[in-house]
């Protein structure tokens, strides 16, 4: 094409027509031996034969060589044809050629410059605009497909020839396919088409950027179609998400109140569950305890229904960690086990102790609250006075000094009151407005038995007894120990007579005190106080450190610290180890057991403990009540002894438990209780002649009573250990003597007796 390209034969081919080369054709020069080539806009077609061109008005120039022309961006590599090609001139004339004319689209015949060979007999091209009629009416009757912009083809059927300007018509029966703008070629079902236009690709590895869709095999096409559908679906989803996304913020924001509500409700539910769990646990514990209490009641009731000689005498501690473990068996053998508790007294004693502890806790909390309120009140008043002083102008320094001195005075008085309360904590509980002394119950209450399977079997030199000569409760055990001949079986140690802030202490090796076995602890070389033995059992022990204490040397355990139970263990537990003379000593005869129990009940409350209630009372009302009850009971005992047919209580023919328990109080009455505990309505030696005779009979006629009574320990302990009663620790000299001989009387009593004799 010379019009849009450059002709290489311009210098030698000068015989062309008027418009020769206007659209890329050049005239044929028969004499020329060279083969001119006509190139496209950006490229030229390489031919091996001279070009064939038509004249302006349709003159036909026949040639036996094919004409090759290039597309816009690339050349065509043509193949030789067997038939000629007819080219149409500008005005519709046909130009015959020996091979088909191959014309590319805008970018060449194919996207990548490839061509498709067609076996056509004739190829006719229209006028200036392709398939349209020529300028002068010449039409091309053909079924050529006019390419669309995007490669779609429109199949045209044979149409009647339209007359051209000169009446020429050209009939063509072979359809011609032309590429689209981008080189796309639609397939045609042509009868004479011999082969498929492209080689179908079998995998994606062979696909290039220029590969057409129809060049893929069926499987790849389906997969490509699936990918295309997937992309479209994803695009649609993205569109829907984009439309929905603005609403999600409001929805998410609406969840926050719901979450807060659920969290609040959840915390409430969890708290309720925790409370219910704690309540259920507490109810289970209560249920278990109720079952144990019910079993105790049934055992006690069964025991009471038995004759007195068949009663079980154990009073095992219900709360001690050293009691025998309970079994799961419900057999009658377990129910009849004598080591199980059958006495309700320890149960109620424990209940009283628990309630007392609870009351003490509440009182302590109330005191703390009151103290805090006083502090707040003082701070408020101080702030008030500061504000008032600031408003009134100049501050009165003298008034401030007076207020400060008053505050100091109040603090000193409060501290003094606190010290006074602390010093008496062991006797009257703080905050007890009644002012009454309440003795705490013993904690360790196990039992020594001579049975083979006993937890604490009766063995010689296995147990050690800790006592104090000053304590009336410990004095009982010393008397029984001597009466039953247990000196070699159960050794003992007496503590020092002084009881300080840490309780009873052991005497040191360099101290020389009256009494037998007042020595350091022979079992624990490092123990200085009796409480060390209690802490050995339980480091968190919070009870009192009392005597007597019966200790098991093999197990390093406290067997019991209850005097009434220790003496009953001594009655029979060690009989198998005693001589016959001591086996006969019966301090708790079966025919007097009921009377002894009845007597012990009111003697303990009104006399044994009555002197302590009088001495430790912190209110006038409590003192008057205790001391009048004490002397009423002494009068009752005096009358009882006056009616007795023997020198012993209950008209017993010999000493019994009742005599032993009363003796330890009466022997201390005149030397200590009259002046120290203010039990001074009467003394024994001048006011109660029968009691006086009874106590002297036991003291002088029974070595077990006299040898275990030490007046130095008794008087020193009470007067020097009770600082809240006797702050200066002065020990009175009287009475003199501490106990009169059997034939002696107080002067006034002796005079009265002589007067009676004379009358």
Provide the 3-class DSSP secondary structure of residue 298. helix
Distances (CA, A) of 377 to 380, 396, 403, 418, 577: 5, 22, 15, 20, 70
Using alpha carbons, list the distances in angstroms from residue 464 to 356, 377, 454, 617: 32, 56, 18, 35
Residue 215: Cβ within 10 Å count: 18
End-to-end CA distance of the chain: 186
The residue among 676, 754, 657 whose CA lies nearest residue 714 is 676
The set of residues, in sequence order, having a beta carbon less than 8 Å from that of 91 and lying 6+ positions away, is 56, 57, 58, 127, 134, 135, 136, 138, 165, 166
Q: Which one of the listed residues 1, 316, 344, 471 is annotated catalytic?
A: 471
Distance of alpha carbon 738 from alpha carbon 298, whole angstroms: 50
Q: Indicate the SS3 state at residue 10.
A: coil
SS3 597: helix
- Quote the CA–CA distance of 486 and 708 in Å, as a whole number: 14
655: number of Cβ within 10 Å: 24
Q: 514 CB contacts (<8 Å, ≥6 apart)?
A: 710, 712, 713
Q: Supply 734's token pair.
A: 């009287």
Q: Cβ(493)–Cβ(464) under 8 Å?
A: yes
- Is 471 among the residues known to form the active site? yes
Strands (E) located in 540-695: 549-552, 557-560
Q: How far apart are CA 641 and CA 590, in angstroms?
A: 21
**C-alpha–C-alpha distance, residues 685 and 291, integer Å:** 53
Angle between the N-to-C axes of helices 472-483 and 657-668, in degrees from 0 to 180, rounded to the nearest 10: 130
Residues 455-458: contacts with CB under 8 Å, at least 24 apart: 455/322, 455/324, 455/339, 456/552, 456/555, 456/559, 458/573, 458/574, 458/576, 458/577
Residue 349, H or E segment:
helix 345-392
Place of tokens 């992309």: 231
Closest by CA position to 154, among listed 183, 178, 121, 119:
178
- Dist. CA 18–CA 59, nearest whole Å: 12
Report helix, strand or coil for 510. coil
Q: How far apart are CA 534 and CA 443, in angstroms?
A: 10
Closest CA to 667 of 628, 699, 635: 699
Distance CA 249, CA 151 (A): 47
DSSP assignment string, 377-409: HHHHHHHHHHHHHHHHSS--HHHHHHHHHHHHH
Whole-number Å distance between alpha carbons of 499 and 673: 18
Q: How many CA atoms lie within 13 A of 635 on its CB side?
A: 8
What's the half-sphere exposure (Cβ side, CA atoms, 13 Å) at 411?
Answer: 8
- C-alpha dihedral, 271 to 277 to 282 to 287, nearest 10°: 150
* Residue of 643, 646, 647, 645 whose CA lies nearest to 635: 643
Nearest to 105 by CA among 73, 128, 137: 73
Residues designated as active site: 471
């Amino acid at each position: 094409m010379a019009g849009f390209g450059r002709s290489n034969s311009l210098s030698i081919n000068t015989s062309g027509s008027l418009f020769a080369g206007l659209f890329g054709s050049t005239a044929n020069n028969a004499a020329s031996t060279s083969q001119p080539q006509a190139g496209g806009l950006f490229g030229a077609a390489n031919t091996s034969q001279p070009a064939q061109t038509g004249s302006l008005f349709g003159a036909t120039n026949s040639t036996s060589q094919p004409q090759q022309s290039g597309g816009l961006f690339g050349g065509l590599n043509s193949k030789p044809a067997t038939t000629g090609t007819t080219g149409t001139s500008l005005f519709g004339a046909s130009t015959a050629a020996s091979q088909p004319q191959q014309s590319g689209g805008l970018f060449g015949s194919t996207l990548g410059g490839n061509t498709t060979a067609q076996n056509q007999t004739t190829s006719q091209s229209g006028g200036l605009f392709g398939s349209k009629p020529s300028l002068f009416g010449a039409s091309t009757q053909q079924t050529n497909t006019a390419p669309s912009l995007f490669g779609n083809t429109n199949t045209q059927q044979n149409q009647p020839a339209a007359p051209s300007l000169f009446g020429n018509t050209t009939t063509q029966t072979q359809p011609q396919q032309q590429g689209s703008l981008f080189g796309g070629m639609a397939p045609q079902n042509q009868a004479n088409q011999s082969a498929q236009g492209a080689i179908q690709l079998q995998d994606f590895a062979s696909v290039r950027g220029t590969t057409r869709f129809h060049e893929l095999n069926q499987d790849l096409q389906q997969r490509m179609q699936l990918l295309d559908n997937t992309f479209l679906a994803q695009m649609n989803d993205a569109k829907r998400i984009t439309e929905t996304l603005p609403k999600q913020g409001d929805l998410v924001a609406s969840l926050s109140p719901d979450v807060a509500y659920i969290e609040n409700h959840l915390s409430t539910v969890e708290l309720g569950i925790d409370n219910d769990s704690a309540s259920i646990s507490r109810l289970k514990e209560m249920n278990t305890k109720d079952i144990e209490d019910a079993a105790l009641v049934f055992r006690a009731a069964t025991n009471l229904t038995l004759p007195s000689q068949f009663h079980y005498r154990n009073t095992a501690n219900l709360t001690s960690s050293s009691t025998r473990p309970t079994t799961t068996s419900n057999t009658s053998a377990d129910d009849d086990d004598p080591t199980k508790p059958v006495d309700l007294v320890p149960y109620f004693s424990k209940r009283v102790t628990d309630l007392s502890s609870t009351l003490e806790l509440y009182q302590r909390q109330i005191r703390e609250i009151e103290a805090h309120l006083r502090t707040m009140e003082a701070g408020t008043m101080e702030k008030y006075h500061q504000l008032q002083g600031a408003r009134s102008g100049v501050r009165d320094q003298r008034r401030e000094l007076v207020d400060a001195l008053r505050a100091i005075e109040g603090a000193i008085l409060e501290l003094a009151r606190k010290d006074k309360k602390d010093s008496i904590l062991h006797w009257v509980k703080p905050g007890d407005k009644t002012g009454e002394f309440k003795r705490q119950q013993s904690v360790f209450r196990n039992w020594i038995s001579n049975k083979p399977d006993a937890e604490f079997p009766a063995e010689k030199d296995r147990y050690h007894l800790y006592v104090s000569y000053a304590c009336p409760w410990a004095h009982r055990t010393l008397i029984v120990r001597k009466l039953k001949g247990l000196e070699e079986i159960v050794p003992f140690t007496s503590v020092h007579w002084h009881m300080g802030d840490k309780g009873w202490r052991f005497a040191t090796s360099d101290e020389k005190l009256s009494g037998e076995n007042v020595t350091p602890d022979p079992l624990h070389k490092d123990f200085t106080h009796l409480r060390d033995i209690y802490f050995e059992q339980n480091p968190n022990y919070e009870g009192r450190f009392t005597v007597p204490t019966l200790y098991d040397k093999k197990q390093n355990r406290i067997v019991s610290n209850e005097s009434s139970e220790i003496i009953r263990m001594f009655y029979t537990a060690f009989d198998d180890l005693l001589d016959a003379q001591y086996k006969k000593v019966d301090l708790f005869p079966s025919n007097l057991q009921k009377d002894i129990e009845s007597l012990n009940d009111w003697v303990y409350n009104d006399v044994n403990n009555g002197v302590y209630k009088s001495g430790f009372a912190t209110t006038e009302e409590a003192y008057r009540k205790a001391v009048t009850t004490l002397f009423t009971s002494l009068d009752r005992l005096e009358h009882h002894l006056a009616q007795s047919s023997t020198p012993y209580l209950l008209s017993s023919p010999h000493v019994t438990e009742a005599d032993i328990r009363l003796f330890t109080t009466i022997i201390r009455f005149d030397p200590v209780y009259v002046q120290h505990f203010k039990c001074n309505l009467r003394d024994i030696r001048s006011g109660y002649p029968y009691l006086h005779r009874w106590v002297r009979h036991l003291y002088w006629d029974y070595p077990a009573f006299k040898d275990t009574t030490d007046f130095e320990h008794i008087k020193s302990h009470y007067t020097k250990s009770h600082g809240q009663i006797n702050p200066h620790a002065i020990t009175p000299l009287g009475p003199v003597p501490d106990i009169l001989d059997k034939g002696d009387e107080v002067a006034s009593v002796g005079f009265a007796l002589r007067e009676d004799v004379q009358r």
